């Protein structure tokens, strides 16, 4: 198959310095905030992936121009009320839940109905979770089968604030309501279970009228109507979710070392680091610096002599939510039984990832016991594969593809992994960096 990759060899030891692409969450948010700014915003190291291009295309449909040159981008914002709503606009969020959900928050004042569509994977995902809250502002949303895309949103001229309890730990839902709050008179209140906080940090950096009160379990966010957003020049840091694959590759190899430069180590994203450290991997941050509310560092990882199993505290789930598939590979090699629980959100991603995690591990001969929100993984420190494994029909989930590549390079066997193009959504350089580490 043209679009598949065959891997027949384990990776030898390595000692490398790499840099991965820009953060996807921040890249999409930068596009959306810049589209509302008064004037020209510039980004460097913007992630040039399909999800981010979908965001650029989406704002273009709303009359906002942009220019992409190498990995820099300019967006010509026309102010908070600069979107040109007209008849028959269709926005295609493609594979991106972040774009699909966040942009709806900005469309709650559209004077004409706007249709939101997505690819096969996004069309299976839950949009009721965001249609419910946004309709409380007064927007009208009509969903396919009451739950999915395509959906049609029609805004209101008379938006009303409300209090939203975000109980899933979903940054997409939280952010969508924050963006809706920017358009709404009065104070919108969000009581959110902890999740990545890039939207709040951008609002703060832009000096928008937001306050955040943190308690142990929830953040209480208050946001008021915004009059003006200043242009936002941003040097996008590297994405820890993309680094995760190489961190795990190092954790599973022998006598290897890796440095990953300029990574965003925002604590709401570093669950994987806490988990890998608990499992015995040596990771240190170097050259820490602050950047527009975020924290950046170089990450040094050394492959461990042995790996311990983990009883993973569910309070780490949100900060590692995109990394669990690849973390499960570490559990496969750890001594003992690892246990991950409270992971119902994993089956809500680009593919049902708890199921895919189980499938990949079982193909590797690793015993698992799963429920609808948990998995027990019976690790085997001597795991060494010598069989054929085919991974296909995974709804082109980029993280299933990349996790399978890491498994193949770490455990051996003959792997045929389909849908190589899936990496274009989040990490088009992934295989190039793998080749750089190999040679």
Residues in contact with ligand S3P by CB under 6 A are 25, 97-98, 170-172, 175, 195-196, 321-322, 345
In whole angstroms, how close is the CB of 99 to ligand S3P at the nearest point?
9
In whole angstroms, how close is the CB of 1 to ligand S3P at the nearest point?
27
In whole angstroms, how close is the CB of 281 to ligand S3P at the nearest point?
23
First to last CA, the chain: 25
CA distance to 91, 132, 407, per residue, from 104 (Å): 10, 12, 37
Q: Is residue 322 annotated as part of the catalytic site, yes or no?
A: yes
Select 66 or 172, whichever has its Cβ closest to ligand S3P. 172
Select 101 or 333, whichever has its Cβ closest to ligand S3P. 101
CA distance to 85, 87, 111, 182, 330, per residue, from 115 (Å): 12, 10, 13, 22, 42
In whole angstroms, how close is the CB of 357 to ligand S3P at the nearest point?
15
Select 333 or 349, whichever has its Cβ closest to ligand S3P. 349
Select 7 or 343, whichever has its Cβ closest to ligand S3P. 343
In whole angstroms, how close is the CB of 206 to ligand S3P at the nearest point?
18
3-state secondary structure the chain: CCCCEEECCCCCCCEEEECCCECHHHHHHHHHHHHCCEEEEEEECCCCCHHHHHHHHHHHHCCCEEEEECCEEEEEEECCCCCCCCCCEEEECCCCHHHHHHHHHHCCCCCCCEEEECCCCHHHCCCHHHHHHHHHCCCEEEEECCCEEEEEEECCCCCCCCEEEECCCCHHHHHHHHHHHHCCCCEEEEEEECCCCHHHHHHHHCCCCEEEEECCCEEEEEEECCCCCCCCCEECCECHHHHHHHHHHHHCCCCCEEEEEEEECCHHHCHHHHHHHHCCCEEEEEEEEEECCEEEEEEEEECCCCCECCEECHHHCHHHCCCHHHHHHHHHHCECEEEECCCHHHHHCCCCHHHHHHHHHHHCCCCEEECCCCEEEECCCCCCEEEEEEECCCCCCHHHHHHHHHHHHHHEEEEEECCHHHHHHCCCCHHHHHHHHHC
Catalytic residue from among 23, 92, 262, 322? 322
Select 196 or 396, whichever has its Cβ closest to ligand S3P. 196
- Give me the residue whose beta carbon is nearest to ligand S3P: 25
Cβ burial 378-408 (10 Å sphere, 16+ → b, else e): bbbeebebeeebebeebbbbbbbbbbbbbbb
Measure the CA–CA gap between 422 and 97, rounded to whole angstroms: 15
> Environment class of residue 431 by beta-carbon count within 10 Å: exposed (0-12), middle (13-18) or buried (19+)?
middle
In whole angstroms, how close is the CB of 199 to ligand S3P at the nearest point?
7
Q: Is-contact 21 47, C-beta < 8 A?
A: yes
Select 21 or 175, whichever has its Cβ closest to ligand S3P. 175
In whole angstroms, how close is the CB of 100 to ligand S3P at the nearest point?
10
Select 93 or 366, whichever has its Cβ closest to ligand S3P. 93
In whole angstroms, how close is the CB of 98 to ligand S3P at the nearest point?
4
Select 34 or 175, whichever has its Cβ closest to ligand S3P. 175
In whole angstroms, how close is the CB of 97 to ligand S3P at the nearest point?
6
Select 349 or 358, whichever has its Cβ closest to ligand S3P. 349
Active site members: 322
């Amino acid at each position: 198959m043209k679009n598949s990759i065959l891997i027949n060899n384990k990776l030898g030891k390595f000692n490398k310095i790499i840099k991965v692409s820009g953060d996807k969450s921040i890249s999409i948010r930068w596009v959306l905030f810049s589209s509302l700014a008064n004037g020209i915003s510039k980004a460097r190291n913007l992630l040039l992936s399909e999800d981010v291009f979908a965001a650029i295309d989406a704002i273009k449909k709303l009359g906002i121009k942009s220019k992409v040159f190498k990995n820099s981008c300019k967006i010509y914002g026309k102010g908070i009320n600069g979107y040109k709503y007209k008849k028959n606009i269709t926005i295609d969020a493609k594979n991106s839940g972040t774009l699909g959900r966040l942009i709806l928050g900005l469309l709650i004042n559209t004077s004409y109905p706007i249709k939101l569509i997505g690819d096969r994977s996004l069309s299976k995902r839950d949009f009721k979770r965001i249609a419910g809250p946004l309709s409380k502002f007064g927007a009208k949303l009509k969903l396919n089968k009451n739950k999915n895309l395509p959906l049609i949103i029609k805004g209101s001229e008379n938006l009303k604030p409300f209090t939203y309890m975000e109980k899933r730990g979903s940054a997409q839902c939280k952010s969508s309501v924050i963006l809706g709050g920017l358009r709404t008179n009065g104070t919108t209140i969000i009581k959110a279970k902890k999740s990545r906080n890039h939207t709040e940090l951008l609002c703060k950096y832009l000096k928008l009228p937001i306050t955040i009160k943190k308690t142990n379990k929830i953040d209480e966010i208050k946001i008021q109507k915004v009059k003006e957003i200043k242009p936002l020049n941003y040097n996008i840091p590297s994405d820890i979710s993309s680094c995760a694959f190489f961190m795990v590759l190092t954790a599973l190899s022998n006598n290897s070392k890796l440095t990953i430069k300029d990574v965003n180590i925002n604590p709401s994203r570093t669950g994987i680091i806490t988990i890998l450290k608990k499992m015995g991997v040596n990771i240190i941050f170097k050259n820490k610096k602050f950047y527009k509310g975020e924290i950046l560092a170089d990450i040094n990882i050394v492959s461990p002599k042995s790996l311990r199993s983990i009883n993973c505290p569910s309070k780490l789930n949100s900060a590692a939510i995109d990394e669990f598939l690849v973390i499960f590979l570490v559990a496969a090699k750890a001594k003992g039984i690892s246990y991950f629980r409270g992971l119902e959100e994993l089956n809500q991603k680009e593919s049902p990832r708890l199921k895919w995690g189980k499938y990949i591990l079982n193909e590797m001969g690793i015993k698992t016991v799963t429920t609808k929100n948990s998995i027990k993984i019976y690790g085997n420190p001597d795991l060494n594969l010598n069989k054929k494994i085919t991974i296909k029909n995974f709804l082109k989930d980029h993280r299933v593809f990349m996790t399978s590549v890491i498994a193949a390079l770490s455990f051996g066997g003959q792997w045929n992994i389909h849908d190589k193009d899936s990496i274009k959504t989040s990490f088009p350089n992934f295989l190039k960096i793998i080749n750089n580490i190999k040679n």
